[in-house]
Amino acid sequence: MSVKTQSLWSTLKPKRRERRLLVYLAVVLCFAAWKFLPRPWHPATHLQTVHHLVESTATQEQTKKTGRALECLYEAYLERFAALPTLRTNHPLLKVKLFKDRDEFRRINPGLGWAEAYYRKPYCRAYYAAGEDNPYHWMLHEAAHQLTTELAGLSLEKWLEEGLAEYYGTSLIVSNRLLQGKIDTETYPVWWIDELATHPVLDENLHNGSVIPLRSIVSNSGPSLNRNVNLYYLHWWTLTHFVFEHPRHRDQAFALVKDGGGLTAFEKHIGPINEVQEEWHDYVRQLKKELAHARTQGSQREILCADSPDNEQH
């Protein structure tokens, strides 16, 4: 090797510190790939319903039940939002990935944190929660997100986007119908309702942290989400339920959704945020009392959609 070549090699050769950094970078990249990249997945069942295409590793019966629940949701959502100018019913089949259980879901979709399901266009991804009284509520939440995007063509503020998904994900399905606003107590975040508005007085709850100011909720400017996940979902859900179900406001719910749910739209259609906060707080306190005495019968959750036109492929 010539002196000139040796000199060039010495210039280009990574120094010991640089080599060490390259090794560290390679380790970090390998760890990130292991933690975050999806694993291969091989669904055994493909179910086509009227509006959905479901890929599944759950049992055939579990897949059928989930497909029927999705159709019940679709019908209810369309019934409420049929008049939206952005609505499009000529969409392709809505795509769904149904995993057999939570372990498989989290193994195939690593790095999810606290998420139990998620929607990333074009797929809803969730598992069949066989050990829970309502095994499809996680899927219905994500499917509502899918409908908001792919059917309704809406762009909503975070509180209303999530609240609308919870409004449908917590609704009972009885005799082939999703009963909008009729709460199934065995769903998330209803389980955690005791964490919200723990004191009868609003000011005390604002002080003890069990209520986040509605101005912060609607404008998405409150405390850390990661440290208050359940509390945020409780606010998003109850505020949406309040808007959609309260006799004074439910006639304005459609207009609020149409306008995106921002603070300006909220005060235009629902009222001054500070006044509404008092009203919502009273609503939540009453809702907590009703839920404390609620007893949801298992038979109520049976989805009687045997006449749904399914087309199974295995």
Instruction: Tell me how far apart the alpha carbons of residues 310 and 50 are, in angstroms, rounded to a whole number.
Output: 7
Supply the pTM of this predicted model.
0.84
List the CATH number of the domain containing 88: 3.40.30.160
Query: 308 in a domain, yes or no?
Result: no
Task: Give the confidence band of 11 by pLDDT, cuts at 50, 70, 90.
Answer: low
Say yes or no: 147 and 214 in one domain.
no
Say yes or no: 143 and 172 in one domain.
no
Task: Give the confidence band of 38 by pLDDT, cuts at 50, 70, 90.
Answer: low
Q: Give the model's pLDDT for residue 114.
A: 86
Say yes or no: 99 and 200 in one domain.
no
Q: Give the model's pLDDT for residue 272.
A: 98
Say yes or no: 150 and 232 in one domain.
no
Query: To which residue do tokens 């309502």 refer?
Result: 134
Instruction: Tell me how far apart the alpha carbons of residues 281 and 302 are, in angstroms, rounded to a whole number.
Output: 33
* pLDDT tens readout for residues 240-264: 999 999 999 999 999 999 999 999 9
Say yes or no: 198 and 89 in one domain.
no
The answer to whether the CB of 235 falls within 8 A of the CB of 205 is: no
Mean pLDDT of the chain: 88
Which range of residues forms the domain containing residue 297?
A: 156-301
User: Residue 271's closest CA among 214, 233, 313, 204?
Assistant: 214
In the chain, the amino acid numbered 261 is G
Say yes or no: 52 and 150 in one domain.
yes
The answer to whether the CB of 252 falls within 8 A of the CB of 269 is: yes
Say yes or no: 247 and 272 in one domain.
yes
Say yes or no: 169 and 297 in one domain.
yes
By CB atoms closer than 10 A (0-12, 13-18, 19+), residue 114 is exposed
By 3-state DSSP, what share of the chain in percent is helix, strand and coil, each rounded to 5?
A: 50, 10, 35
Task: Give the confidence band of 40 by pLDDT, cuts at 50, 70, 90.
Answer: confident
Query: 9 in a domain, yes or no?
Result: no
Last residue of a domain, one of 105, 138, 154: 154
Asked if residue 68 has pLDDT above 90, the reply is: yes
Asked if residue 119 has pLDDT above 60, the reply is: yes
Query: 248 in a domain, yes or no?
Result: yes
Q: Give the model's pLDDT for residue 309.
A: 42
Residues of the chain with pLDDT > 70, as a percent, come to 81
Say yes or no: 145 and 171 in one domain.
no
Report the Cα 80 to chain-centroid distance in Å.
Answer: 19
Say yes or no: 176 and 196 in one domain.
yes
* pLDDT tens readout for residues 168-214: 999 999 988 999 999 999 999 999 999 999 999 999 999 999 999 99
Q: Give the model's pLDDT for residue 20.
A: 55
Task: Give the confidence band of 32 by pLDDT, cuts at 50, 70, 90.
Answer: very low
Mean local confidence (pLDDT), 164-168: 98
Instruction: Tell me how far apart the alpha carbons of residues 311 and 314 are, in angstroms, rounded to a whole number.
Output: 10
User: Residue 197's closest CA among 189, 185, 205, 208?
Assistant: 205
* pLDDT tens readout for residues 276-294: 999 999 999 999 999 998 7
Mean local confidence (pLDDT), 21-49: 65
Q: How many domains does the chain have?
A: 2
